[in-house]
């Protein structure tokens, strides 16, 4: 999913470049195209949901969600890890362009943007090599390393001034780690959650990330300027490093559970 998401983003950029021109009459074409796709998607979802009866299952779903997600420490760790990566990605998309062109530097952002998506595709394509019986590390170990790598990449940007080339390299490393983290988290969700609860768990984690995005990016940076861009990136870096520690703790709990089961 992460690989094809990046492919679709590259394709959407190409469509936008084709639709946008110097002619003012064609300026609204990308927005009309996006609005048309949105309307088609809404109509499709509405027709699909009208054929199913979900009202009777809401109560049982809430009870199951409360038992499997909110009362399970392992799943809550996954929620925090998912929220941290979503917040870091949101902070990156808000701040990568101002960071690169800071101090009046000139850069072709339309050329740099596909490099980030290609890095994410590379990270997601490398995930199968770290999954299976012949993998050099366990899934939690690889995920911890990826979280630490992404956190260190953002910390370099937050605390050290860099030129354009080092910034692009560090951002590509960050996106490669993100491309590896997302399918790894999906693998862990299949281990700890039933299939019908995974969507609710992801929505819950994204709501936490969106709340943090609203507080730090919109209120703090866009309007009042009380929070600097480097502060937001450092917070995202701390969140990723903390998520790596949480995943490592999850692996220790799992190992401890296996030892107890063998002793019994």
Query: Taking the model in full, what pTM does it have?
Result: 0.75
Which of 194-198's residues contact partners 24+ apart within 8 Å by CB, and which partners? 194/64, 194/68, 196/61, 196/64, 197/61, 197/64, 197/65, 197/68, 197/69
Q: Is the pLDDT of residue 152 over 90?
A: yes
CA geometry: angle at 256 spanning 254 and 261, to 5°? Answer: 95
CB burial of residue 244 (10 Å; 0-12, 13-18, 19+): buried
DSSP 128: G
pLDDT in tens, 179-228: 999 998 988 888 888 887 888 888 888 888 888 888 876 665 545 566 77
Q: Cα 210 to chain center, whole Å?
A: 11
CA geometry: angle at 9 spanning 5 and 13, to 5°? Answer: 170
DSSP 227: S
Q: Is the pLDDT of residue 76 over 50?
A: yes
In the prediction, which pLDDT does 261 show?
44
Domain spans of the chain, in order of start: 1-52, 60-263
Q: Cα 62 to chain center, whole Å?
A: 25
Q: Is the pLDDT of residue 262 over 70?
A: no
- Please indicate whether residue 170 or residue 21 has the higher confidence score (pLDDT): 170
> Which CATH number does the domain 60-263 belong to among 1.20.1250.20, 1.20.1260.10, 2.40.40.20, 1.10.10.60?
1.20.1250.20
Task: For the chain, give the mean pLDDT.
Answer: 78
pLDDT in tens, 104-142: 778 888 888 888 989 999 988 888 887 766 666 677 888
């Amino acid at each position: 999913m992460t690989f094809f998401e990046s492919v679709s983003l590259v394709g959407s950029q190409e469509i936008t470049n084709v639709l946008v021109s110097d002619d003012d009459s064609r300026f609204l074409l990308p927005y009309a195209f996006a609005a048309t796709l949105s309307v088609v998607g809404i109509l499709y979802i509405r027709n699909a949901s009208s054929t199913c009866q979900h009202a009777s299952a809401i109560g049982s779903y809430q009870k199951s969600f409360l038992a499997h997600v909110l009362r399970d420490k392992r799943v809550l760790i996954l929620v925090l890890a998912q929220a941290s990566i979503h917040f870091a990605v949101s902070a990156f998309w808000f701040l990568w362009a101002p960071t690169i062109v800071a101090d009046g530097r000139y850069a072709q952002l339309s050329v740099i943007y596909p490099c980030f998506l290609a890095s994410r595709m590379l990270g997601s394509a490398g995930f199968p090599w770290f999954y299976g019986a012949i993998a050099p590390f366990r899934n939690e170990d690889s995920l911890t390393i990826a979280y630490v790598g992404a956190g260190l990449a953002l910390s370099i940007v937050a605390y050290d001034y860099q030129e354009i080339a080092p910034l692009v390299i560090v951002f590509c490393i960050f996106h490669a780690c993100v491309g590896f983290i997302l399918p790894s988290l999906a693998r862990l969700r299949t281990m700890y959650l039933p299939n019908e609860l995974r969507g609710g768990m992801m929505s819950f984690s994204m709501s936490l990330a969106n709340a943090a995005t609203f507080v730090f990016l919109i209120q703090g940076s866009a309007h009042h300027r009380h929070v600097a861009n480097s502060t937001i990136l450092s917070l995202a870096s701390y969140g990723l490093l903390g998520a790596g520690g949480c995943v490592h703790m999850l692996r220790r709990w799992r190992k401890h559970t296996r030892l107890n089961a063998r002793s019994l």
